[in-house]
Structure 1
Amino acid sequence: MRALLFLFLLTGSVAVAQVPAAGRPRPLADTARLRRHLQYLTTTAQPRNYQHPAVLDSVAGYLRRQLQAAGAREVAEQPYAVGEHTYRNVIGSFGPAVGPRLVVGAHYDVCGEQPGADDNGTGVAALLELARLLGQQPALPYRIDLVAYTLEEPPFFRTPNMGSYVHAAALRAAGVPVRGMVALEMLGYFDDRRGSQRYPFGPLKFIYGSRGNYVTVAQKFGNGRFGRQFARRYRRGARLPVKQFKAPAWLPGIDFSDHLNYWHFGYSAVLLTDTAFYRNPSYHQPTDGLARLDMRRLGLAVEALLAAVLPGPTDL
């Protein structure tokens, strides 16, 4: 993920959501599992970038096994060739086999020679923990596809070789109805100190605060019913601060993750993130390691995600 440049310039909403009502117990994320996933992802033999396709294949195998263990109805790979190598998305499906589906995705490759704990190990770990929690739910009325993408980072960003482009294009070609898409992009770095959250323009800290203690739901104007519904449900289900930002699609930064390809094919999509380098000084650096992450708040972000993707009264 690159910058969310200018994202904070637009009108946004801030909410600290409440604990769910009594009598409705919340499934809890397992922070030990999140840590184990991140430990695996950050200690591969070589960094999980496009120059090491064997490593990416081994990660894809790990993701496939974890999705199967979580109880996915079906786990499939989506291989595609780039040059002389084959790369693959991994897809775990929950709920009915047919009908409209919700897509939740995270990329598992990294930029350059770095461990990529926050970028995007946290997104992948969150995806796998969401899979485990979905596997504990009763029958879902609609399908939820969890997709782990490859080749999101340079030199493939903004090209048809992105795993998210390949997946979105295949959905469109098959005429699959999509309820919406959620991109998980860096969800584990938090800092409560004043001045830890940066912005493109300094005075914005007086509007949004200077502490990097929240997650953000970002989307473009005109993103449709799904975007509004997801942001509302996520805020309602969260036990950590949540800020929502909307901006025109043409603003640099608003589309700097996998969700941009779903917009390209006409699907409603949102980005869930900790704001990347506006907060995390180790963005795209060798210091982006596990020790810098907050497992407790990563777990809270996953729990709110579960609450947001499960069907509400209007979906039944």
Structure 2
Amino acid sequence: MKRFFLPALLACLLAPGAAAATENPAPLADTARLRQHLRVLTGTPQPRNYVHPVVLESVAAFIGRELRTAGAYAVADQPYTVQGQTYRNVTASFGPTDGPRLIIGAHYDVCGDQPGADDNGTGVAALLELARLLGQEKTVPYRIDLVAYTLEEPPFFRTPQMGSYVHAASLKAAGVPVRGMVSLEMLGYFDDRRGSQRYPIWPLKFIYGSRGNYVTVAQKFGNGRFGRRFARHYRAAAALPVKRFKAPAWLPGIDFSDHLNYWKFDYPAVLLTDTAFYRNRSYHEASDTLARLDLRRLGLAVDALLATVLAEEK
């Protein structure tokens, strides 16, 4: 993930508050599985970046195997070539074969020479655990496509070589109707200490608090019914605090992840995140390791996501 949502005070004031469900069922997400996925992702021989395409291929193969095991009815690679080298997205589908789709995605590459446990191992682990839970559902009410993207990180960020750009462009070219898109970007670092949550504008701590104990749903103005509905359902379902940021699309930073490419093709999209470097000091550092993550709360974030996508109105 890049330097995320440098928001204006106005943007945040228009979407204040946090909510957690007052009554929640027993957790569904398996923290042992989340841990194992993260061990695989962070334990590659070299960092999973574009300089090591063989490593990225091995990670893509691992993701594909897990998605098939989860019970997706269609798992496919989406290969494309950059600078003479082949990279690939991995997609999986659940629910009906036709009708408008919900896209949920996470990038599996890292920036530079770091393990990338939170950025973005947690997003991918969440995606795989969501796949397992969806595979156990007797009925998925509409089509849900899960996508693991390659090449989100520099030097490809904001270029047509991003895996999410390739995927979004392919949907547009094929005329595929899309209900909306959710980008899973850094979801596993939490800190309950005062002062652990930073903001680009210091007064925001008086609105949202100084403790890094929540997840955020970020979206742009004009995102339509999808963004409002997703945020509402997610906040109602979550057993951990959820805070919503909404801002104009022109504000620098509001689009710093894969969801920006769906906006480019006029698809509604939101970002689900732990706020990245505003909380996690190990962002893009060698210290971004599994040991620093809170897998219990990562699991709660996955549980809320499952409840939200199953509650989405047709």
Which TM-score bucket, shorter chain as reference?
over 0.9
1:101 equivalent in alignment to 2:101: yes
Please say which of residues 303-312 and 45-54 is displaced more in the overlay: 303-312
Counterpart of 1:261 in structure 2 is 261
By how many angstroms is 1:20 displaced?
4.4
By how many angstroms is 1:139 displaced?
2.2
Counterpart of 2:156 in structure 1 is 156
Task: State which of 17, 20, 24 in structure 2 corresponds to 1:17.
Answer: 20
Counterpart of 2:292 in structure 1 is 292
Relative to structure 1, the CA distance from residue 94 to residue 26 in structure 2 (aligned partners, 3 Å threshold; closer, same or farther) is farther
Q: Distance in 2 between matches of 1:151 and 1:19?
A: 39
Is the 2:70–2:135 Cα contact (8 Å) retained in structure 1?
Answer: yes
Q: Distance in 2 between matches of 1:179 and 1:255?
A: 19
Q: Distance in 2 between matches of 1:306 and 1:168?
A: 23
Counterpart of 1:281 in structure 2 is 281
SS in structure 2 of the partner of residue 272 of structure 1:
strand
By how many angstroms is 1:4 displaced?
2.1
Two-structure CA RMSD over aligned residues (Å): 1.1
Mapping 1:101-250, distance limit 5 Å: 101-250=101-250
Is the 1:8–1:245 Cα contact (8 Å) retained in structure 2?
Answer: no
Q: Distance in 2 between matches of 1:137 and 1:211?
A: 35
Is the 2:233–2:311 Cα contact (8 Å) retained in structure 1?
Answer: no
SS in structure 1 of the partner of residue 45 of structure 2:
coil
By how many angstroms is 1:82 displaced?
0.4
Q: Distance in 2 between matches of 1:288 and 1:311?
A: 34
Relative to structure 1, the CA distance from residue 27 to residue 207 in structure 2 (aligned partners, 3 Å threshold; closer, same or farther) is closer
Q: Distance in 2 between matches of 1:27 and 1:189?
A: 19
Q: Distance in 2 between matches of 1:216 and 1:248?
A: 16
Is the 1:17–1:241 Cα contact (8 Å) retained in structure 2?
Answer: yes
Q: Distance in 1 between matches of 2:19 and 2:225?
A: 22
Deviations 1:159-183, CA, capped at 9 Å, x for gaps:
0000000000000000000000000
By how many angstroms is 1:7 displaced?
2.5
Counterpart of 1:85 in structure 2 is 85
Counterpart of 1:305 in structure 2 is 305
Identity across matched positions, percent: 75
Letter in 2 for 1:118: D
Relative to structure 1, the CA distance from residue 29 to residue 8 in structure 2 (aligned partners, 3 Å threshold; closer, same or farther) is farther
SS in structure 1 of the partner of residue 17 of structure 2:
strand
Counterpart of 1:75 in structure 2 is 75
Deviations 1:230-287, CA, capped at 9 Å, x for gaps:
0000000000000001000010110000000000000000000000000000000000
Relative to structure 1, the CA distance from residue 126 to residue 138 in structure 2 (aligned partners, 3 Å threshold; closer, same or farther) is same
Deviations 1:119-164, CA, capped at 9 Å, x for gaps:
0000000000000000011122310000000000000000000000
Relative to structure 1, the CA distance from residue 27 to residue 144 in structure 2 (aligned partners, 3 Å threshold; closer, same or farther) is farther
Letter in 2 for 1:273: T
Q: Distance in 1 between matches of 2:41 and 2:291?
A: 13
Is the 1:27–1:133 Cα contact (8 Å) retained in structure 2?
Answer: no
Q: TM-score, normalised by structure 1?
A: 0.96
Q: TM-score, normalised by structure 2?
A: 0.97
Letter in 1 for 2:196: S
Counterpart of 2:56 in structure 1 is 56
- Number of residue pairs the alignment of both structures matches: 311
Is the 2:5–2:256 Cα contact (8 Å) retained in structure 1?
Answer: no
Relative to structure 1, the CA distance from residue 178 to residue 20 in structure 2 (aligned partners, 3 Å threshold; closer, same or farther) is farther
Q: Unmatched 5+ residue regions in structure 1?
A: none
Counterpart of 1:271 in structure 2 is 271
Deviations 1:157-216, CA, capped at 9 Å, x for gaps:
000000000000000000000000000000000000000000112222111100000000
Is the 1:199–1:278 Cα contact (8 Å) retained in structure 2?
Answer: yes
Q: Distance in 2 between matches of 1:199 and 1:27?
A: 31
SS in structure 2 of the partner of residue 310 of structure 1:
helix
Q: Unmatched 5+ residue regions in structure 2?
A: none
